[in-house]
Chain A
Amino acid sequence: MPRLIRLDQTGHTTLAQWSAEDAASVEAASAAFRSELDRGYFAVVSQGEGHAEHVRELPLDAPLVILRRPIAGG
C-alpha cells in the first residue's frame, strides 16, 4: 500500500496510507500531504539510485512519498 512519510526526529513518521480504489484514504492522504507542504516540507519520490522527483501534488501511483525539510549551505 502506498505510504506518505515525513522525515523527522523519530526517524520517520507514516502520515498516511492509501489505496487508489478507496476515495476516503486518497482524500485523507492528499490533505495530509498539502498540510505538510504548507508547513514548509518538500515532497520527493525516490526513483532508485541516482533519481528522485520533487512533487507538488500527491502522486497516487508512487509506492513511497517522502517529506523532507529544506537543505541549506552550512
Chain B
Amino acid sequence: MGAEGSGPLPELASVYWRPRASERTLTRAGRLWTLSTVGYTVPFLAAAAILPALNPVTLPVALVALAQAWMIPELSAARGSNVVRPRGPAKRPGAEAVALGLLGDLVGHDSRDLHAQTGLVLERGELGVWLVGEAGALLIRPGGRRVHCYCVKATDPALPSSDRIAHLLLALRTDESGFATVANLAFSGARARVRRRLAKPTRPALDSAVVAARTTP
C-alpha cells in the first residue's frame, strides 16, 4: 500500500501545510496525546489528593476534581470512537444494495463478513491495521496497543453508506500516508479506552484488528 506506483493522493493539495504522516509523526502524535491527557488529569488528581488533606471540608470539591480527572479522558476517547459510529439505517435501500455489491468486490471474504457484522472494513497497511467506516477510520498501530481515530469522509453527503466506505478504502489503498495526512486526528490512545466507548456491534471489528496488528511487524 503506498504512493510509489500511483503518485500522492490528490487531496493532499488541500492540506499542503501538514507534514506527511509517517511512522515518526504517528509515534510523536501518540506521545503528544498521552502527554496532554496526563496534563489534563494530573492537576485534578493532585487537587483531589491535597485538598482533603489540607481541610476535610473541601472533600466535595476533591470529589468533583476526581470526577473531572476521570471524565476528561473518557470524553476524549468517546470523541475518538464516534468517528466510526454507525450513521443509522440506509435512506435508499436500493442504492445501498448496489453500493454494498461493489464494496464486496473490493474486499476479501473475511473483510466482507466483518463488514456485515460490524459495519467496518478491515484493511492491513504499512502503518498498522485500519478499520474503515463511512465517516472515519481507526488505525490500530503495530502491536495493537494504541489506536489513532481519524475523522475523514467523502465530500458528497448523499452517497450510500457502502459507497462512502469504498471512497475511503480506495483513497487509503492509493496512498496510505497521504490518507492519514488528509484525515483529521480526533483521538489517539490506548485500545481499551477506545473499545469501551465503541458501540457494542462494532467492538468485534476492533478485536479482529488488534489480533491482526499483533502480527504486523
- Whether B173 is near chain A, meaning CB under 8 Å from some CB there, is yes
How far apart sit A49 and B153, CA to CA, in the bound complex (Å)?
Answer: 20
User: Could you tell me the distance in whole angstroms from the C-beta of B59 to the nearest C-beta in chain A?
Assistant: 42
- A46, B170: Cβ atoms closer than 8 Å: yes
Give the chain B neighbours of A70 by CB distance below 8 A. Answer: 10-11, 14, 154-155
- B174, A72: Cβ atoms closer than 8 Å: no
User: Could you tell me the distance in whole angstroms from the C-beta of B154 to the nearest C-beta in chain A?
Assistant: 5
Determine which of A50, A52, A69 lies in contact with B154 in the assembled complex, contact meaning CB atoms within 8 Å.
Answer: A69
- Whether A22 is near chain B, meaning CB under 8 Å from some CB there, is no
Q: Mark A37-54, 1 if CB is under 8 A from B, else 0.
A: 000001010110111111
Q: Chain A interface (Cβ within 8 Å of chain B)?
A: 5, 7-12, 42, 44, 46-47, 49-55, 66, 68-74
Check A71/B106 contact, CB under 8 A, given A10-B98, A46-B173: no
- A54, B167: Cβ atoms closer than 8 Å: no
Check A71/B158 contact, CB under 8 A, given A52-B170, A66-B170: no
Number of A-B contacts (CB under 8 A): 118
How far apart sit A39 and B9, CA to CA, in the bound complex (Å)?
Answer: 18
Determine which of B108, B124, B184 lies in contact with A74 in the assembled complex, contact meaning CB atoms within 8 Å.
Answer: B184
- B99, A7: Cβ atoms closer than 8 Å: yes
How far apart sit A8 and B10, CA to CA, in the bound complex (Å)?
Answer: 19
- A12, B163: Cβ atoms closer than 8 Å: yes
User: Could you tell me the distance in whole angstroms from the C-beta of A45 to the nearest C-beta in chain B?
Assistant: 8
- B182, A54: Cβ atoms closer than 8 Å: no
Give the chain B neighbours of A47 by CB distance below 8 A. Answer: 173
Check A68/B170 contact, CB under 8 A, given A50-B124, A50-B125, A51-B1: yes
- A7, B167: Cβ atoms closer than 8 Å: yes
Within 8 A of A (CB), among B95-126: 95-102, 106-108, 111, 123-125
- B99, A11: Cβ atoms closer than 8 Å: yes
Check A54/B6 contact, CB under 8 A, given A7-B159, A7-B166: yes
Q: Which chain B residue shows the least CB distance to A7?
A: B163
User: Could you tell me the distance in whole angstroms from the C-beta of B71 to the nearest C-beta in chain A?
Assistant: 24
Nearest 8 pairs between A and B by C-beta? A11-B98, A73-B184, A52-B173, A74-B151, A53-B6, A11-B99, A11-B95, A54-B6
How far apart sit A70 and B155, CA to CA, in the bound complex (Å)?
Answer: 6
Give the chain B neighbours of A42 by CB distance below 8 A. Answer: 10
Give the chain B neighbours of A52 by CB distance below 8 A. Answer: 6, 170, 173-174
- B124, A71: Cβ atoms closer than 8 Å: no
Determine which of A46, A68, A73, A74 lies in contact with B167 in the assembled complex, contact meaning CB atoms within 8 Å.
Answer: A68
- B99, A73: Cβ atoms closer than 8 Å: no
- A9, B166: Cβ atoms closer than 8 Å: no
Contacts A/B (CB < 8 Å), 22 sampled: A7-B166, A9-B156, A10-B98, A11-B97, A11-B99, A11-B160, A11-B163, A12-B98, A44-B170, A49-B108, A50-B1, A51-B173, A68-B167, A69-B167, A70-B154, A71-B152, A71-B153, A71-B182, A73-B15, A73-B151, A73-B182, A74-B136
